Structure 1
Amino acid sequence: MANTTNSQRLLYEQDLVAWCDDTVQKLKADRFQEIDIDSLIEEIAGLAGRDRRELKSRFRVLLAHLLKRIYVESPNRYRGWEITIREQRQQLRDLLEQSPSLRNDITSLFPKLWSEALAIVREDYPQAKFPDQWEFSHEIDALLNEKFW
């Protein structure tokens, strides 16, 4: 069994997709004793972390582009910013549909992500006047659907 665990760990380190395929086959066949449990735990924990990182990244991009669209006077760029806003909103809706519990994270992450997005746009557009606080609804459905401009 130690040999199986070592070969499983080696497979995990060398080829994650092959390790996943092998682990799924073993789970389906009820061959639990052959599964590298430590790596399985690591991957499951990593999935939640990946989704949280994606949520934060997409939400930060959404806020930055909303700020640009609302406060930066540059009509030639509006279309590009609006396309990015639509894309980020759709990707966020898809992510929240898959993992509804992430909705709770948005509420707690909003202040930090707002500050980060604000810092980005202030650096990129020093001539624009951005508010210190988000002036619109903080509700996730509003952020994902409303046209604030």
Structure 2
Amino acid sequence: MVEITHPRSLYEQDLMAWYEDTIAKLKTGNFSDIDVNRLIEEIEGLAGRDRRELKSRLRALLAHLLKRIYVNSSNDYRSWEITVREQRQQLLDMLEQSPSLRNYFAEIFPRCWNDARTEVKEDYSQTEFPNEWRFSHEIDALLNEKFW
């Protein structure tokens, strides 16, 4: 039996080349030659990636805030504060580029809080961490206030 193979599409061969080709088609108005289904998949993937990054950075921010506020280890304060600043700046940049992520930020805060708390409790079992975040849940406060 002879197997019939189909030539691989540009998307399958070289994703960057597909991006550039699709951008060129969009710029020239050549919409009929655009692989709309793949374009939709890529845009959905980008949106998902941004949400995952925001969630990861918020979780890291909360974990380092918890360590800095509650763990008595002055030798580590500086590195935790640097991580807090880095995560805050990255989150601010994301929210500046995509303000609608503010809604998602508020939505995922409880889950990120629980994840961060679980993580630091495991790493610092001798330290007592609160069951609830005791400070403001407001995005601007989380991204700017010094809680320690």
Whole-angstrom CA distance in 2 between matches of 1:75 and 1:50: 35
Whole-angstrom CA distance in 2 between matches of 1:27 and 1:108: 34
Whole-angstrom CA distance in 2 between matches of 1:46 and 1:32: 21
Aligned CA RMSD, in angstroms, stands at 1.2
Q: Which residue of 2 aligns with 1:3?
A: none
Whole-angstrom CA distance in 2 between matches of 1:119 and 1:14: 43
| SS in structure 1 at match of 2:137 | coil
| SS in structure 1 at match of 2:143 | helix
Whole-angstrom CA distance in 2 between matches of 1:132 and 1:14: 50
Q: Which residue of 1 aligns with 2:3?
A: none
Would you say 1:106 and 2:74 are equivalent positions?
A: no
Q: Percent identity among equivalent residues?
A: 69
Would you say 1:23 and 2:50 are equivalent positions?
A: no
Q: Which residue of 1 aligns with 2:91?
A: 92
Whole-angstrom CA distance in 1 between matches of 2:35 and 2:13: 14
More helix, by proportion:
1
| SS in structure 1 at match of 2:104 | helix
Give the TM-score normalised by the residue count of structure 2. Answer: 0.93
Superposition map of 1:1-149 within 5 A: 10-149=9-148
Whole-angstrom CA distance in 1 between matches of 2:121 and 2:14: 43
Whole-angstrom CA distance in 2 between matches of 1:64 and 1:14: 41
| SS in structure 2 at match of 1:146 | coil
- How far off is 1:13 after superposition? 2.2
Whole-angstrom CA distance in 2 between matches of 1:135 and 1:17: 46
Gaps of 5+ in 2: 1-5
- How far off is 1:53 after superposition? 0.4
Number of equivalenced pairs: 143
Give the TM-score normalised by the residue count of structure 1. Answer: 0.93
| SS in structure 1 at match of 2:40 | helix
Gaps of 5+ in 1: 1-5
- How far off is 1:76 after superposition? 0.4
| SS in structure 1 at match of 2:75 | helix
Whole-angstrom CA distance in 1 between matches of 2:13 and 2:58: 33
- How far off is 1:124 after superposition? 0.5
